Amino acid sequence: MTPQSIFTEHMAQDLQTAASPKHAWKAQSASWAWGCALICLLIAAVYYRVLAKLVVDWYEIPDFSQGFLVPIFAAYLVWNKRKTLEETKIVPSWRGVGVIVLGLMVLVLGVYGAELFLSRISLVILLAGLVLCFGGWQLLRELRFVLLVLLLAIPIPAILFNQITLPLQSLASKLASVLLPIAGVPVLREGNVIELPVMKLEVAEACSGIRSLMSLFTLSVFYGYFLEKTVLRRTILALASIPITIAANAVRILGTGLCVQYWDPDKALGFFHEFSGWVMFLVSLSCLFFVHRIMLLFPERRSQA
């Protein structure tokens, strides 16, 4: 063979290798990795103050401490669907630019309006816009649950928080006022204050059950994802966490009232009150598991072709 023919043959082999699907996929993956790294750096530069304050709130506000688990779970969801995402057809859409602009506008409103909720939720909107812009509608559909899960990491605004907390306080005090006389303790309820023969027991904001509700709701979403396949049954499990939390909180207040009446008020409002919170949360998890076991007794009906 002449040197010219050898050179031509090697060039043909190189071109064939470059054109192979495997090589093209690796090249595309490398470009996507560099692009994602650049986008992450830009997001970090824009949102570093927002994210830093969010992490501080997770640490300092017990009602939202479950936020530390949400990004880990979201990352696992992406990793678990990596094969599906690799097979997803990438069709970039210019409509994603509009969603990105919307997210940045919400960020500006949140920052200059001193509204943390808007500035934090703008990040989820921005991520949805980036996925739509660079990946298309099909990729956005595959990642929609991941984006919705990220909302669980964002503390709800104070206005909505108070609208939820106050009814929970009232409901908990009403249920405890009904249960305590059954246990032989006469009560007189005035709003969120339960007057016992020994002392007054106030159902404060910390006793409303909002902390247990947020944590149990988040865990029920995780639990439903791993153990159920349909959206309906996952939704039922998530909604079941609400009455379970309310009932568990009422039982906790009942136990505190009994300890105040028959034991030691100082210990009842100190160690027992804090310890019973952890115990009732474990009981709530057990009730959620029990609800799921009942759901398994009624298998999902599949339509016949």
Among the listed ranges 49-58, 144-153, 171-180, which one has the minimum average pLDDT value?
A: 171-180
pLDDT value for 156: 84
Q: Which residue has the tokens 């709800």?
A: 156
pLDDT value for 29: 61
On the question of pLDDT at 5 being above 70, the answer is no
Selection from 54, 35, 56 nearest residue 121 by Cα: 54
Domain ranges within the chain, ordered by starting residue:
3-155, 159-296
Cβ neighbours of residue 288 under 8 Å, at least 6 residues apart? 216, 219, 220, 223, 237, 240, 241, 244
DSSP classification of residue 157: P
Selection from 300, 303, 121 nearest residue 228 by Cα: 300
pLDDT value for 130: 92
User: What is residue 210's three-state secondary structure?
Assistant: helix
Please give the mean pLDDT across all residues of the chain.
79
User: For 82-127, how does the pLDDT look when each residue is reduced to its tens digit (9 = 90+)?
Assistant: 888 888 888 888 898 999 999 999 999 988 887 788 899 999 999 9
Question: Parallel, antiparallel, or unpaired for β 193-195 and 188-190?
Answer: antiparallel
Q: Specify whether the CB–CB gap between 98 and 143 falls below 8 A.
A: no
User: What is residue 202's three-state secondary structure?
Assistant: strand
Q: What does the pLDDT average to over 262-266?
A: 68
CA distance 111 to 273: 39
On the question of pLDDT at 289 being above 70, the answer is yes
